[in-house]
């Protein structure tokens, strides 16, 4: 199979391009060149040094979008890899290279699935679209979110979207992500008064002042979660104060924290409850908020049904639905799409040295995507 798989061949081409965020390294041109002969309208929506591609075949509903990113995280020291990170290498049944699992194999599978589907169904119902960016692994401020804004401004909506993130855990097909928690971060600065530790009556220690509020925030039950989401969590990621000397009471304590929140809570509600605690403890503080993404969920509708059936028919696996893990660009797409899921290869080696994907799972992944296209766009 390794010698004949068109999906493997394209995955190798993509991995060989060192597209570290936000550099696309020509991946989008390579993909566009495969799509244009199939009748896709190709549109580049580049902004802020980020490369974005919107490609669409057809003008009718329903619109099924395949979404993903060409960028990869830095490989780290190349000498620590068993083979060069941007030289795709096959050994012992695995394809190695940065982006092999996250997510260039999915991109290759998208393309070959579309090629076969269009050849078999040139007059398919609805529309096929691809939304690709080179800014998912970075700050994600000029990538998918900008394409979504452009589509929304001209009234384009999507009916279904599959994001090709690596969602499988033990074997290809065992998990679909049908939603993600929201992410809300805060940078809190509690003000005190600097002084000598021997004269605490002349100072105000902001760490001590914040400690009771910290204990309350850490013990708060924010919500109980629901069928798809675990309860909302609040976690401190960093506390910093002081000058480095052991005889100085600091004047300011800076605290970085994050909510991962379910659809039972809103960003505004979490903000209000946090401020209520801080105000009740009489703290002098500033608090800057950053909302990375709202929670989204896709229930057991047409998209989950079609994708689950394709997985079962191709792989013989009854897939599980999950909302675990971090954020993805699905959080942006959900603003213009009713049903958004994520599905892709096994994620055991993503962002690691010697990232890899099983070679015998590459072509089946493409078949799953093709069967899902057929399930939603044929009548």
Neighbours of 305 (CB within 10 A): 13
159, two tokens:
């009916």
Sign of CA dihedral 160, 8, 311, 346: negative
Catalytic, out of 24, 115, 136, 137: 136
**3-state secondary structure at position 64:** strand
Beta bridge partners of 74: none
Torsion region of 222: left, alpha or beta (phi above 0 gives left; psi -120 to 50 gives alpha): alpha
CA distance 313 to 318: 10
φ, ψ of residue 189 to 5 degrees: the values are -120, 110
The yes-or-no answer on residue 136 being catalytic is yes
CA distance 76 to 335: 35
Q: Please, how many CA atoms are within 13 Å of residue 38, restricted to the half-sphere of its CB?
A: 29
Catalytic, out of 71, 102, 339, 355: 71
Q: How do strand 337-342 and strand 89-91 relate by DSSP bridges? A: unpaired
The yes-or-no answer on residue 149 being catalytic is no
Which of the 8 DSSP states describes residue 359? G
Residues with catalytic function: 71, 136
């Amino acid at each position: 199979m390794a010698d004949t798989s068109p999906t493997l061949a394209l995955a190798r081409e993509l991995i060989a391009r060192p597209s570290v965020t936000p550099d696309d390294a020509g991946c989008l041109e390579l993909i566009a060149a495969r799509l244009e002969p199939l009748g896709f309208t190709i549109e580049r929506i580049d902004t802020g040094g980020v490369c974005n591609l919107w490609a669409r075949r057809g003008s009718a509903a329903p619109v099924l979008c395949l979404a993903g990113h060409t960028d990869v995280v830095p490989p780290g020291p190349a000498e620590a890899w068993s083979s060069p990170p941007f030289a795709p290498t096959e050994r012992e049944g695995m394809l190695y290279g940065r982006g092999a699992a996250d997510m260039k194999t999915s991109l290759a599978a998208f393309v070959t699935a579309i090629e076969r589907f269009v050849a078999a169904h040139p007059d398919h119902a609805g529309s096929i679209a691809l939304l690709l960016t080179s800014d998912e692994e970075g700050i994600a401020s000029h990538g998918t979110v900008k394409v979504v804004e452009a589509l929304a401004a001209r009234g384009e909506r999507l009916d279904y979207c599959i994001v090709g993130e690596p969602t499988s855990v033990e074997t290809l097909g065992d998990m679909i992500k049908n939603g993600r928690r929201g992410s809300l971060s805060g940078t809190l600065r509690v003000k005190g008064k600097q002084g000598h530790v021997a004269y605490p009556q002349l100072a105000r220690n902001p760490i001590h002042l914040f400690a009771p509020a910290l204990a309350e925030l850490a013990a708060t039950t924010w919500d109980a979660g629901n069928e798809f989401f675990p309860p909302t969590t609040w976690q401190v990621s960093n506390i910093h104060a002081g000058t480095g000397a052991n005889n100085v009471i600091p004047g300011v304590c800076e605290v970085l924290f994050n909510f991962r929140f379910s659809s039972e809570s809103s960003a505004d509600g979490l903000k209000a409850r946090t401020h209520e605690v801080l105000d009740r403890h009489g703290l002098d503080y500033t608090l800057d908020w950053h909302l990375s993404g709202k929670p989204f969920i896709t229930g057991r509708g047409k998209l989950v049904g079609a994708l689950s059936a394709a997985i079962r028919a191709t792989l013989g696996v009854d897939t599980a639905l999950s909302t675990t893990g971090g954020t993805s660009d699905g959080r942006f797409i959900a603003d213009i799409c009713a049903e958004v899921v994520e599905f892709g290869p096994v994620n055991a080696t993503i962002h690691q040295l010697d990232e890899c994907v099983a070679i015998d799972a590459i072509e089946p992944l493409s078949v799953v995507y093709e069967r899902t296209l057929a399930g939603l766009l044929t009548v």
